Amino acid sequence: MESEVKKPFLIGVAGGTASGKSTVCKRIIGKLGQAEVNDQQRQVVSISQDSFYRELTQEEKLRAQKGRFNFDHPDAFDEKLMYTTMKDILEGKKVTINSYDYRTNSICPNKTVTIYPADVVLFEGILVFYFPEIRELFHMKLFVDTDSDTRLARRVPRDINERGRDLDQVLNQYMLFVKPAFEEFCSPTKKFADVIIPRGADNTVAIDLIVQHIRDFLSNRLSLDALTLSPTSTPALNGAAINGSRDEFLQSALRRFSSSVINRKLFTILYDRHI
Ligand SMILES: Nc1ncnc2c1ncn2[C@@H]1O[C@H](COP(=O)(O)OP(=O)(O)O)[C@@H](O)[C@H]1O
Ligand SMILES: O=c1ccn([C@@H]2O[C@H](COP(=O)(O)O)[C@@H](O)[C@H]2O)c(=O)[nH]1
């Protein structure tokens, strides 16, 4: 039998720096029961746009070391790589992405992350809605809307503790690049969002609604897939549905979709429709 190609539900998560994008993604992953699952088995994965910062020229590297490079401008990203990676993910392919090191302002040499095909892929970053071709790929677009004072108050300790900066560097970079670029490039993309999440990860009501929407979408898609099964594409499943017992049908359906986060009660309904 042909192996199943997983075409994921692709979710874009945009928002200003330190708005809580990655925390929101973690909450969604947790609520879908995927927090403890290992990389290869994981059905819900999150990718950061930071993996798509482009390599800097020598001259740009020197400027970056002095805090004079604008990492909040769209030109700082490798748009083409972002697009081809998202397309590959949507085609159910396994992809390899870069790891980024904020301390050196560059891609980590010899360190990549493999993203295995999954049911749900979250792609989070300050400018994920900026590039039209990439924006159009998302099935759902979220904007994490946290006020700028809170964001700055979170960014300062984070950049000092986790990204190797001192207070002056963080504040200078914020005033020179981060704040103006947020206003020019990130904030205007809020209008493309399907859901705006005020207060980020604190907004449990919004996160629960989003999680429910993801579950509904996946259930509906699975329902359509199962209703259009052809004997050539999935002989085992169809054979059981046509010739076998109700239990055989459910067993083979569950085997096929056993790694999915989708509600399995659906198969009972489908079986009743088929037979
Ligand atoms: N709701 C929250 N309450 C308190 N701290 C938060 C909250 N959301 C995020 N943080 C903290 O703020 C910092 C930035 O959050 P993060 O999710 O990494 O933001 P982003 O991905 O948008 O840059 C992290 O140190 C994180 O732990
Ligand atoms: O080398 C770098 C690369 C990026 N940044 C800053 O990171 C944020 C984006 O990450 P968030 O997790 O969304 O905050 C962006 O504002 C860049 O200024 C950096 O400082 N150095």
Give the tens place of pLDDT for each residue, 94-145: 999 999 999 999 999 989 999 999 999 999 999 999 999 999 999 999 999 9
- pLDDT value at residue 219: 81
Q: Which residues of the chain have pLDDT under 70?
A: 1-6, 222-275
Type of residue numbered 251: Q
Looking at ligand 2, which residue's alpha carbon is closest to its atom 14? 17
* Domain annotation covers residue 267: yes
- pLDDT value at residue 184: 98
Overall domain count for the chain: 2
Same domain for 213 and 195: no
Query: Is the distance from the beta carbon of residue 178 to the nearest atom of ligand 2 less than 6 Å?
Result: yes
Domain that holds residue 250: 205-272
CA distances, 145 to each of 59, 76, 117, 150, 199 (Å): 35, 23, 29, 11, 6
- pLDDT value at residue 41: 87
Give percent of the chain with pLDDT exceeding 90.
69
| Cα 145 to ligand 1 centroid, rounded to whole Å | 12
* Domain annotation covers residue 255: yes
Same domain for 125 and 19: yes
Atom of ligand 2 nearest to the CA of 15: 13
Same domain for 173 and 225: no
Same domain for 241 and 106: no
Same domain for 209 and 199: no
Query: Is the distance from the beta carbon of residue 18 to the nearest atom of ligand 2 less than 6 Å?
Result: yes
* Domain annotation covers residue 71: yes
Same domain for 132 and 184: yes
Same domain for 210 and 199: no
* Separation of alpha carbons 156 and 18, rounded Å: 9
* Separation of alpha carbons 251 and 267, rounded Å: 10
| Cα 44 to ligand 2 centroid, rounded to whole Å | 24
Looking at ligand 2, which residue's alpha carbon is closest to its atom 13? 17
- pLDDT value at residue 57: 96
* Domain annotation covers residue 4: no
* Domain annotation covers residue 38: yes
Same domain for 105 and 213: no
Domain boundary among 162, 188, 204: 204
Q: Which ligand is nearest to the CA of 13?
A: 1
* Domain annotation covers residue 1: no
Looking at ligand 2, which residue's alpha carbon is closest to its atom 8? 17
- pLDDT value at residue 126: 98
CA distances, 83 to each of 32, 115, 219 (Å): 26, 15, 27
Q: Do the Cβ atoms of 176 and 47 come closer than 8 Å?
A: no
Domain boundary among 204, 236, 262: 204
* Separation of alpha carbons 258 and 269, rounded Å: 17
Paired with 195 in beta bridges are 142
Same domain for 255 and 172: no
Average pLDDT taken over every residue of the chain: 85
Residue 93: give its domain's CATH number.
3.40.50.300
Looking at ligand 1, which residue's alpha carbon is closest to its atom 16? 20
| Cα 72 to ligand 1 centroid, rounded to whole Å | 18
Closest CA to 136 of 87, 75, 92: 87
* Separation of alpha carbons 28 and 176, rounded Å: 33
Same domain for 223 and 168: no
Query: Is the distance from the beta carbon of residue 17 to the nearest atom of ligand 2 less than 6 Å?
Result: yes
* Domain annotation covers residue 2: no
Same domain for 124 and 85: yes
Domain boundary among 204, 226, 260: 204
* Domain annotation covers residue 226: yes
Q: Do the Cβ atoms of 119 and 218 come closer than 8 Å?
A: yes
Same domain for 116 and 75: yes
Ligand 1 pocket, residues with Cβ under 6 angstroms: 15, 17-23, 154, 158, 200-202
